[in-house]
Amino acid sequence: MVRNPDPLSNTGLAERLEQQSRRGGAALGVAMALCIAIGVAGFVFLYNRLDFFPDARTRATNPAAGGLLTGGSASAAARLTPAATRPAGTPGANATAIAGTAVAPTPNVPAPAAAAASGTAGPAPTSTPAFSANYRIVGGQSIVFRAEAGTSSARLKSLPPGTELQYLGQTQEAGADRWLRLRDSSGTEGWVREIDLEKLPG
C-alpha cells in the first residue's frame, strides 16, 4: 500500500487555508485603504479648520510669498481672509440714500434772477462815446474812408462831400500826405487825408 506524501490533500485542508488567506489579504487591503482615506480626510479637515500650518497657509493664500492659490486652498483662503473693516459711522463710497428720505429738487433759476438773488451784479454794458463832429469832407467828390493810413489800405466806405466826422486825436504820415483818424456818425472809424477835410468852427 502506497501512502500519500501530502496527507492534507485528502481532506481539502490546504485549499481551505489558501482561500482563508486570500480573504484575509483582501480584507486587510480594504482596511488599509479605508484607514488612508480617513487619514487624508482628517488632515484636510484640520488644515481647513485649524491653524496648524500658518507658514503653509500664508504661502497658499499669498502668491507674493511664493504660494499658489488654487482649488480648495483658494476657497479656504477666501473663508479665512477677514473682510476689510470700516469705522462705524463712515459712509461708503457707494452709499445710497436712506429709504423714505425725501430729496428736495433743485429749482431752475434763470441766470439774471440768480444773479439778482445773490446780489452779484453782472458786467456793466459798454456805452459808445457821444458823437461830436469837428471836421467835414470838402471838395466836389466823395472820399474813400480807409481802414489804415495810405491809399493802398482797405476801403471801408465812401464819404460824400459835407459828411461830418469826429477827430480821434491820431495823425500819421503816409507817402506825401498826412492822414487823420476819424469816426463818422454811425460809429465807423477810419482814416482820411487832411487835404480832404475842413475843420468846423467852434
pLDDT at 96 (0 to 100): 46
pLDDT at 24 (0 to 100): 83
Contact 155, 146 (CB under 8 A): yes
Give the span between the Cα atoms of 68 and 49, in whole angstroms. Answer: 19
Cell of 79: 473663508
For cell 496648524, the residue is: 52
pLDDT at 185 (0 to 100): 93
Local mean pLDDT, 10-residue blocks, the chain (202 residues): 53 76 85 91 82 55 50 50 52 47 61 56 66 92 95 95 95 93 95 95 81
Contacts of 192 by beta carbon, 8 Å cutoff, 6+ apart: 137, 143, 145, 146, 159, 165, 179, 180, 182
pLDDT at 171 (0 to 100): 95
pLDDT at 73 (0 to 100): 47
Give the span between the Cα atoms of 77 and 143, in whole angstroms. Answer: 95
pLDDT at 19 (0 to 100): 79
Give the span between the Cα atoms of 182 and 191, in whole angstroms. Answer: 6
Write the CATH number of the domain with boundaries 135-199.
Answer: 2.30.30.40
Total length of the chain:
202
For residue 159, the one-letter residue type is L
